[in-house]
A and B are shown apart, each in its own frame.
Chain A
Amino acid sequence: MASTHPIEPVGAELFEPSTDGRITLLGGRHRATGRLVFPKPSGQDHEPERLPSRGTLWSWTVQRFRPKSPPYAGPEDFEPYAVGYVDLGGLIVEGRLTGAPLDGYRIGMPMRVVPLELMLGGPPRQVLTYAFEPEGLSE
């Protein structure tokens, strides 16, 4: 997965890269109330906070049809993909799932955050987003 130049993250302050090629999701801790939210809202009211990189699969489904564009910015040529919620301990976060066959996910599975490269349309561009992958697939 080594590339000569870094791929643009799909959103600002969404995650930060770590040295081992992984990424860490960023939540936002509200400075006044202490409430932790994901994703971190823009602006100064929330302080960025790193979220746990491991959790368990809370629920999941498969997107079987190509969503309408907008808002979906994926390629015209559509491949179904899995999405899910992962319980990171206190906060349950939604994201794409990767690393298993579409019917290979189960509630309660140990999951971890991984980077995911996606092609988006418009003018075609490659972006980096986050996804969750079942633990123990590759080390």
Chain B
Amino acid sequence: MNLLLAVPFVIPLLGAGITLLLRRSPRSKQIAGVVTLAAVVVDAVWLLWLTADGTVIASDAGGWAAPLGITLVADPLAALLLTVSSVVLLLVLLYAIGQDIGGLSSATPQTFHPLYLVLTAGVCLSFLAGDLFNLFVAFEVMLTASYALITQAPTRARVRATMIYTVVGLTSSILFLTGIALVYALVGTVNMADIAIKLDGAPDDLRMVLALLFLVVFGIKAAIVPLHFWLPDSYPVAITRISAIFAALLTKVAVYAIIRTQTLLFGGDDVSAVMLWIAIATMIVGILGALVQDDINRIMSFALVSHIGFMIFGLALNTVAGIAGVMVYLVHHIVVQATMFLVNGLVRQYVGHTSLRSIRGLTAVSPALALFFFLPAVSLAGIPPMSGFIAKVALFQAGVEAGGWLTWVGIGAGLLTSLLTIIAIFRVWTRAFWGTPLPDMLTARAELKRGPDAAGLRMMTVTTGVMVGVGVLVAVLGGPLVDLSFTAAHDLLDGGAYIEAVLPGGGS
């Protein structure tokens, strides 16, 4: 138990140390990175296996019992997200290695591998953290690595984007720390299970203020609508592997933190109405932004903002079905968003940029690329056989069950957003993938295929293909996934199993 809970963040830190030591040999750095992440994947799957029936595993670091020491907790939600995240992290690393092998990359491999592993450690620790302060530390580890990663291959645009990203990130961190201080002042503990027990007796208005504060803190990181402005400015500018992993994971870690704090600590009903309004605004504003963009990466970034709205919607319902829907959506969205950004990276490899103005006929340039774009795109839009459909149906069903006029408005907004997503996606499809390719695109392809980069390009394409396959797998495993999500959501709303695992005997 102790070992399983420690591996996901300690092994990447060890790996980061090792990759820092291996200065001269890029190959051994790559091997160290892949082995590390593969170990994390195995560990995460194992944890998922153990927790799938709703068991909660806890471990106290240093042997200090729960309310005092650092507690690591894995429940089905954490284990599921850990598994999906580690798989995506591994695949993106393989993609990056392909790019490096081919010499197609502009990243500095000296610092990329250690930082990437530190980021992994931060992401994994966020999922496993059992107390608020440890969650803060995990966020900081993740964010500090991300500040450095976003400036890989610095250009003027990237440095500018980093400024915005860093300032926004630090602001949310300060608010987070303030929130922790306030909670500690109120109940005298930072252990989440302990807070959950003790906050019950707190005055309602204080609870609501705290709930709102934490919603703002994680809302900034998750890019919910009034707080989303930084994301479309910073993510698309970074190099492919970085924007893929940021888009797929960082916002989702924040969504996970919202789920954890709102369900376990605050019981959720305090800010339900606010969250519904936020969800509606996020869906509509995000997708309207996506409709007017001209760059595929920017379109995807705005779509990302808009689809965060779906998750907030499910969470705002505060029912078992709603939260189960959010979990399915999270899994679907992590995989699909990473895939889309990897595909955009391949487009950039072929064309040199991702602006819709001068891309034509990508289908003729690379049929595989067209397929890799099409499958996740229709999944994002929520067209039937794909995972996006399963996720959206789960959310809308939960909404119908919950009822209430605002919920119906939310469902309406969700349907409208799905339709507009289809328009945004097909705008990209018709402009970039159809038509006759521009002549320089064909020569560029010929050069790529013949040049020394061919092996790297093949590896990148295969990795993207595997990622598309994972997306399809999410749809195929839809049934078990929904079952698992319901088990997890039930435990999350109840909170009993979590508290019992962390504080055996109900605490002091």
Real binding pair: no
Q: Which residues of A does B touch, CB under 8 Å?
A: none
Q: Which residues of B does A touch, CB under 8 Å?
A: none
